[in-house]
Amino acid sequence: MARKNPAFSEEDPLARASRVLKIMDRLDERHPDAGLARASRVLKIMDRLDERHPDAGVALEYRDPLQLLVATILSAQCTDERVNQVTPVLFERFPDAGAYAAAGVEEIEEIIHSTGFFRQKAKSIKGAAAVIMERFAGEVPQEMADLTSLPGIGRKTANVIRGGAWGFPGITVDTHVKRLSGRLGITDHTDPVKIEYDLNDLLPEERWFRFSSALIFHGRRVCGARKPDCADCTLTDLCRYYLEESDGI
Ligand code: SF4
């Protein structure tokens, strides 16, 4: 038989309910962002970002999963606009994984030169294509574990490919998502995988991909790394950074 706590066993039910409410109030005061409060704030942030950036999504141009994979590798430390200037030539020269795998790495380097870090990127593209040919019959794999086994493909890139190519739910934690989720006070973590899991817990699955895309667009257009443009932002009342900087709390 369960033993009762002697301190509470004689307590009047009403007194007990009132005591529990006081404890909850105190916890809310000490942790205003915990649990439901944070989740409801994130939902509001999501709706406002949707209004502000209705065009949010993958800005890279591609027609199939392999093209998206290659464009995503090229987009590291490079603007999407620059990648989109380079990829038409690249995609025409290398129409499938077999073509990249058979190419000399210098051929790829020459075309992608202007995207920066071209040696490493060319190596990753050729290496990923070779594994796709050897282990996946020439098709880009859909599973996270298979994708991240390819050279040059980390979890962030894999989420972009899975979401953009097949519509799988996933949160892409790039530099913008990391910065904004910290400033907004959505997460206290700095590790991308922990941030991803925090956001997974707070958002409905069908909004994961769209939310991270909207955060990326907001980071590029409004909440820049060096100086956030809070005067032009619709999230001020929901943003921890703004409230702290403006002594709003
Ligand atoms: S209020 Fe300022 S810091 Fe917060 S998200 Fe907007 S621009 Fe960024």
- pLDDT, tens digit, for every residue of 125-168? 999 999 999 999 999 999 999 999 999 899 989 999 999 999 99
Question: 178 and 222, same structural domain?
Answer: yes
Torsion over CA: 99, 101, 103, 105 (sign): positive
Torsion over CA: 50, 179, 189, 147 (sign): positive
Q: Is residue 139 part of a domain?
A: yes
Task: Provide the 10 A C-beta neighbour count for residue 6.
Answer: 7
Residue 229 beta carbon below 6 angstroms from any ligand 1 atom:
yes
Measured distance CA(215)–CA(11) in Å, rounded: 49
Say what the pLDDT of residue 247 is. 58
The pick from 179, 230, 238, 243 for probing ligand 1's pocket by mutation, whose C-beta has the most ligand atoms within 8 angstroms, reads 230
Domain end call among 166, 201, 216: 166
Domain end call among 166, 197, 217: 166
Measured distance CA(34)–CA(52) in Å, rounded: 26
Measured distance CA(167)–CA(161) in Å, rounded: 9
* Residues acting as catalytic residues: 156, 174
Q: Give the number of domains in the chain.
A: 2
User: Any idea what DSSP says for residue 139?
Assistant: S
The pTM of this model reads 0.77
- pLDDT tens for each residue of the chain, 249 residues long: 333 443 444 556 555 555 545 554 554 555 555 555 777 888 899 999 999 999 988 889 999 999 999 999 999 989 999 999 999 999 999 999 999 999 999 999 999 999 999 999 999 999 999 999 999 999 999 999 999 999 989 998 999 999 999 999 999 899 999 999 999 988 889 999 999 999 998 888 888 989 999 999 999 999 999 999 999 999 998 898 888 887 544
Measured distance CA(196)–CA(189) in Å, rounded: 10
- Nearest residue by C-alpha to atom 4 in ligand 1: 239
242 CA to centre of ligand 1 in angstroms: 6
User: Any idea what DSSP says for residue 150?
Assistant: S
Residues in the chain: 249
Domain end call among 149, 166, 183: 166
Q: Which residue type does 86 have?
A: V
